Copies of this chain bind each other. A is one copy, B any other.
Amino acid sequence: MKLLLLSNSRGPDGRYLAHALDAITALAGSRRRAVFIPFAGVTMSWSDYTATVREALEPVGIEVESIDEAGSVQAQQAAIAGAELVIVGGGNTFQLLATCRERGLLDAIASVVRGGTPYLGWSAGANLACPTISTTNDMPIVDPKGFGALNLIDVQINPHYTNALPQGHRGETRNQRIAEFLVANSDKTVIGLPEGDWLEVGSGLTVLRGPFPALRFSAGQEPVTLEPGMAI
């Protein structure tokens, strides 16, 4: 399997996917035809979302088609099966999972990625690759009828990871939220993936990439700092 799982979509300069463009190019190799899954987009139309991603990847020769334009659910499943690259965008993780589940696409995506089709996801699209979506930061705006996701990796990603709170705010910190997850799911590992970083999954090894250290959380242990280039 080959996956790139990005914490977020925009680099410090605000340009879409630009911070990971070299890694995306390497992931794609000679593959050109990408199927894009825009279902996490809620406040922008799926066609606008697709256009944004198409524009971002055009310079590296990746051709982006939206799964939603494939027509029937059967045609969408066939589009996944025929894709050279699967791309899952960020937005709301609950809506992403709900829509994939409704359309019967979860098994189709997991199957092709396990068969070797590269997978690129960011934010909600990174959460979707995990065993469950239970480490998302998103608001549960729709019920996805089960939190089980693609289960392509065995760790849980917490994207947009930071432990900072707005000044004076008394809500839970991210570390407190992850600690709660690990009480309820003590057999799991969580990677707190800061903005700007990604996980590169391939050949049985998952490596932290990007400029920043990440944190690995396990039940009953202090978080472990992971440096870029380290296997998680």
Interface residues of A (CB under 8 A from B): 8, 10, 42-43, 91-92, 95, 133-143, 146-147, 160, 162, 164-167, 169-172, 176-181, 183-185, 195
Contact = CB atoms under 8 A, between A and B. Distances in A.
B169 A43 contact: no
A181 to B, nearest CB: 4
A129 B91 CA distance: 27
B140 A133 contact: yes
27 contacts: A8-B170, A43-B176, A43-B179, A43-B180, A43-B183, A92-B180, A95-B184, A133-B140, A134-B139, A134-B143, A136-B139, A136-B140, A137-B139, A138-B172, A138-B177, A139-B177, A140-B140, A141-B181, A141-B183, A141-B184, A142-B184, A162-B169, A164-B166, A164-B169, A165-B166, A166-B166, A169-B195
Contacts of A138: 172, 177
- Main secondary structure on A side of the interface with B: loop
A147 B139 contact: no
Contacts of A166: 162, 164-166
Given A92-B180, A162-B169, A166-B162, A143 B141 contact: no
A110 to B, nearest CB: 19
A42 B183 contact: yes
Contact of A141 (B42, B43, B134): B134
Contact of A170 (B135, B169, B195): B195
Nearest to A159: B171
Nearest to A161: B171
A177 B138 CA distance: 7
Given A164-B166, A165-B166, A166-B166, A141 B171 contact: no
A196 to B, nearest CB: 9
Contacts of A165: 166
